[in-house]
Amino acid sequence: MRAVVYKGPFKVDVEDVPDPRIEHPNDVIVRVTSTCICGSDLHMYEGRTAAEPGIVFGHENLGVIEEVGQAVTTLHHGDRVVMPFNVACGFCKNCLAGFTGFCLTVNPGFAGGAYGYVAMGPYTGGQAEYLRVPYADFNCLKLPEGQENEADYALLADIFPTGYHGCELADVRPGETVAVYGAGPVGLMAAYSARLRGASQVFVVDRVPERLAKAEEIGAVPIDFTAADPAEQIRDRTNGEGSDKGVDAVGYQAQGHGTDGEQPAAVLNALVQTVRPTGALGVPGLYVPADPGAPDENAGKGMLLVAIGKLFEKGLRVGTGQANVKRYNRQLRDMIARGRAKPSFVVSHELPLDQAADAYDKFDRRVEGYTKVILRPAA
């Protein structure tokens, strides 16, 4: 089959690779109809991880079941399904507690697995014609038949639940004000989720005009952090209080306010300033324990200088970690199916698989409006 293969820094090709096959009775094989390029794919693409050439990318996958392992009980040939980016077993201590992003079974020696990602287990990515899905009864979420809402449902694999997870980590409740740092796809999904959960006002902080415009479109208040200190801008709009809650949808590759270059803790520290005492921070944005491209030695080991004194004085709570997609994808699917949510407003391109190399290049350079790309292998 055809698949997107990593060839080395800044290079992917669409190549022939072996077809996946049923390896375990609980597997299914899915014919992929939609598979998104994720911001986190770019970490590998840019050569900023330990990923070796040859890996097939793709952890945001939706498709139609082609083949069913003999132990699978509730799935059938032809079912349309979307898979969380996390691979999970469904029965370990963490899965049972709802922490399916930290499964103890699928990636021995580490808590958590994923498709097509370095160090996340032996699961080939889905930017390809077919995908093997383990523990299929658990990992497949059934979708309505047909092709309706395809782009919306594709976002259930990762960024819609990840944005929602940011709100869950921050315990966003009806009536609250929320500051979301980052207006990339995850930040926009976090802002959108905050609205769906009843936030009375959502601020979205970024510096890219197009992204801020997108935030405004969904009812959020755009905050351009190049214009003035974003914490101050938000305090000014909340009677000097600060927001009730905050979401970090940026992570360690943050740009500081009023500086050049990466400042890995810039967003965390800005949130400590932004959120009012007794508030909470949700951190779905990625931080890593080892970063070869870090600006300094400590950051290279994931050690960041954080305003702990102020954070404690304010009595803030902080929730972190990658999304447990399985915990949210059913209810978010139902919101899409019943017309309550339409997250595909973030999708900028839907392209055939063969255009993957070009799409990676443009998405990485953030040119020509490449904000969120869906590849359509079956198109």
* Contact positions with its own copies (CB under 8 A) in 120-179: 137-138, 169, 173-177
336 versus 359: smaller Cβ distance to its own copies = 336
Question: Environment class of residue 357 by beta-carbon count within 10 Å: exposed (0-12), middle (13-18) or buried (19+)?
Answer: middle
Q: By CB under 8 A, is residue 331 in contact with its own copies?
A: yes
38 versus 373: smaller Cβ distance to its own copies = 38
Q: How far is the CB of 365 from its own copies (least distance, A)?
A: 26
Between CA 193 and CA 176 the distance in angstroms is 13
Q: How far is the CB of 331 from its own copies (least distance, A)?
A: 3
Q: By CB under 8 A, is residue 225 in contact with its own copies?
A: no
14 versus 281: smaller Cβ distance to its own copies = 281
Q: By CB under 8 A, is residue 42 in contact with its own copies?
A: no
Residues 253-292 that bind its own copies (CB under 8 A): 264-265, 268, 276-278, 283, 286-291
96 versus 378: smaller Cβ distance to its own copies = 96
Between CA 38 and CA 40 the distance in angstroms is 5
Scanning 8-16, 66-74, 178-186, 223-231 for contacts with its own copies by CB under 8 A, the matching segment is: 66-74
Q: By CB under 8 A, is residue 239 in contact with its own copies?
A: no
Residue type, 344: S
Question: Environment class of residue 334 by beta-carbon count within 10 Å: exposed (0-12), middle (13-18) or buried (19+)?
Answer: exposed
The CA-atom distances, in angstroms, between 53 and each of 61, 113, 313 are: 21, 19, 47
Residue type, 158: D
Question: Environment class of residue 77 by beta-carbon count within 10 Å: exposed (0-12), middle (13-18) or buried (19+)?
Answer: exposed
255 versus 348: smaller Cβ distance to its own copies = 255
Q: By CB under 8 A, is residue 231 in contact with its own copies?
A: no
103 versus 188: smaller Cβ distance to its own copies = 103
Question: Do residues 255 and 269 lie in contact, with contact meaning Cβ atoms separated by under 8 Å?
Answer: no
Q: By CB under 8 A, is residue 22 in contact with its own copies?
A: no
Q: Which of the 8 DSSP states describes residue 288?
A: -
Question: Do residues 76 and 68 lie in contact, with contact meaning Cβ atoms separated by under 8 Å?
Answer: yes
Residue in 205, 335, 347, 353 binding its own copies, rule: CB under 8 A:
335
Binding mask 290-329 for its own copies (x = CB under 8 A): xx------x--xxxxxxxxxxxxxxxxxxxxxx---xx--
Question: Do residues 49 and 55 lie in contact, with contact meaning Cβ atoms separated by under 8 Å?
Answer: no
**Binders of its own copies: how many residues, by CB under 8 A?**
84
Q: How crowded is the C-beta side of 111, counted as CA atoms within 13 Å?
A: 12
Question: Do residues 332 and 156 lie in contact, with contact meaning Cβ atoms separated by under 8 Å?
Answer: yes
Q: By CB under 8 A, is residue 366 in contact with its own copies?
A: no
Q: How far is the CB of 372 from its own copies (least distance, A)?
A: 22
249 versus 353: smaller Cβ distance to its own copies = 249
56 versus 82: smaller Cβ distance to its own copies = 82
Phi and psi angles of residue 319, each rounded to the nearest 5 degrees, phi first: -115, 135
Q: How far is the CB of 186 from its own copies (least distance, A)?
A: 14
Between CA 51 and CA 119 the distance in angstroms is 8
